[in-house]
Amino acid sequence: GQNIDQPTEMTATEGAIVQINCTYQTSGFNGLFWYQQHAGEAPTFLSYNVLDGLEEKGRFSSFLSRSKGYSYLLLKELQMKDSASYLCAVMDSNYQLIWGAGTKLIIKP
Amino acid sequence: DAMVIQNPRYQVTQFGKPVTLSCSQTLNHNVMYWYQQKSSQAPKLLFHYYDKDFNNEADTPDNFQSRRPNTSFCFLDIRSPGLGDAAMYLCATSRDELAGVREQFFGPGTRLTVL
């Protein structure tokens, strides 16, 4: 079966750095997405990785290791507005997104 | 601005009373998706349209139907809503490309309450 695993909840301090991990087992791989979702709102696109390595975009970076079925999202200089759920999703061989349940990130002052 | 629009944002219906949710897009994307998302859960794909071709997920109940009359609009019909159908319903679009990022763009969602 297809499976995406990520921690249910994490807590971090404003100004700090946090790493959210995601492991996956899917039938085929056409890229991995990270989305941010604030409570009661729709997911918004953060990043896409299809090759191994680190993609940096401002305060957010995303890493992929295809051989390990592993990705992480790194958030630097945390701000209160970063409190949200972070969803990992893998595009399978049929170009369908397989979603994780999301990691709820709580930022404390 | 190009976008995905969902109406209404909040919908209340009674147990068993049919309801229709709508989605429109100005992105001219050829693929449209309907997801159901319950609290603290992953979005669950109900069905998607690749142009006019309808693709139903195997575990989507028959109670859920969809229509796509043209490229811009897509509807989700829930024929007899049950209490378990209360959820956020998300519409998304993407452009099918052989190469490049097939990012999905989401509408703001419709939160359905069933009384």
- Please determine, for residue A47, whether its predicted confidence score (pLDDT) is greater than 90: yes
Does the structure show a pLDDT above 90 at B82?
A: yes
Q: How far apart are the first and last CA of chain B?
A: 36
What does the pLDDT look like over B21-35, one tens digit per residue?
A: 999 999 999 999 999
Nearest beta carbon to residue A97 from set B101, B104, B109: B104
DSSP-derived letter for residue A77 is S
Find, among B114, B24, B106, the residue nearest to B63 by Cα.
B114
Whether the per-residue pLDDT at B98 is higher than 90: the answer is no
CA-to-CA separations, A83 to A3, A79, A86, B46, in angstroms, rounded: 25, 8, 9, 28
Q: Are B103 and A33 a contacting pair at CB < 8 A?
A: yes
Contact residues on chain A for B32, CB-CB shorter than 8 A = none
Bond from prior residue into B81 cis (ω within 30 degrees of 0): no
pLDDT for residue B99: 58
Q: Residue B44: count other Cβ atoms within 10 Å of its Cβ.
A: 16
Interface contact B45-A43, CB threshold 8 A:
no
